[in-house]
């Protein structure tokens, strides 16, 4: 009889220990490793939403003479994100430069290297198409400029995208600051 009572006591103790473990009382994590949704367990964090890329501007510019800069209309972003600008042009032998300023600039300011850029490229024939990226760009107004260093008159097309959410970065933009090729542009044209 004592043996049966002892076995019953051990079985009851094991059942109680297993129940407490499932409720959050037997391991150093409070039983949460066995039952993560049990009482006293922290809520599981929601997964990071995937990044969303939105096209915020497209455009083109024709008849860009040698040493001429095309001014695209300013664009505004309403939230922080990673800005990307794709520029393509007609003739592979032409050397093209792309600039994105914070706010707007005049030709005199650009030629005087007095603009604040969030991304720039040197004048070059490659890569074609050209892609600029500025990471962690604050909401605000920006302007795109595309320069033709020749040797031929050019036409360009552009697409500006903004990636938000997910893994949108907080880093500073590619080649932020002053433009690398500081030769003045002889003139400017407006994009369509």
Burial bucket for residue 47 (CB in 10 Å: 0-12, 13-18, 19+): exposed
CA distance linking residue 186 with residue 163, whole number of Å: 35
Of 152, 99, 149, 91, nearest in space to 124 by CA? 149
pLDDT value at residue 99: 95
pLDDT in tens, the chain (192 residues): 555 444 444 445 444 444 444 444 444 545 777 887 778 788 877 787 889 999 999 999 999 999 999 999 999 999 999 999 999 999 999 999 999 999 999 999 999 989 999 999 999 999 999 999 999 999 999 999 999 999 999 999 999 999 998 655 544 444 455 555 667 898 888 987
User: Which among 130, 106, 109 is positioned nearest to 120, based on CA atoms?
Assistant: 130
Instruction: State residue 33's pLDDT score.
Output: 78
**Domains along the sequence of the chain with CATH:** 1-45 (no CATH), 52-190 (2.60.120.380)
pLDDT of residue 28: 55
Alpha helices in the chain (DSSP H): 2-23, 107-111
Closest C-alpha to 22, from 35, 36, 37, 41: 35
Question: Are 174 and 82 a contacting pair, CB within 8 Å?
Answer: no
User: So what's the pLDDT on residue 56?
Assistant: 95
User: pLDDT at position 3, please?
Assistant: 52
Q: Which pTM was predicted?
A: 0.72
**Distant-in-sequence, close-in-space partners of 67: CB < 8 Å, separation ≥ 6:** 147, 148, 149, 150, 183, 184, 185, 186, 187
Measured between alpha carbons, how far is 101 from 43 in angstroms, rounded to an integer?
43
């Amino acid at each position: 009889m004592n043996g049966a009572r002892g076995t019953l006591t051990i079985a009851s103790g094991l059942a109680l220990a297993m129940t407490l473990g499932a409720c959050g009382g037997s391991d150093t994590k409070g039983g949460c490793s066995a039952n993560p949704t049990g009482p006293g367990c922290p809520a599981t964090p929601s997964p990071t939403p995937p990044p969303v890329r939105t096209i915020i501007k497209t455009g083109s510019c024709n008849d860009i003479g040698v040493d001429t800069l095309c001014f695209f209309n300013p664009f505004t972003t309403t939230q922080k994100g990673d800005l990307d600008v794709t520029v393509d042009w007609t003739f592979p032998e032409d050397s093209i430069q792309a600039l994105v300023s914070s706010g707007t600039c005049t030709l005199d300011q650009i030629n005087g290297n007095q603009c604040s850029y969030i991304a720039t490229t040197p004048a070059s024939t490659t890569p074609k198409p050209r892609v600029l990226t500025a990471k962690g760009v604050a909401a605000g107004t920006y302007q795109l400029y595309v320069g033709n260093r020749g040797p031929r008159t050019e036409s360009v097309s552009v697409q500006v995208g903004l990636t938000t959410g997910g893994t949108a970065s907080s880093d500073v933009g590619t080649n932020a600051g002053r433009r690398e090729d500081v030769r003045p542009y002889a003139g400017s044209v407006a994009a369509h």
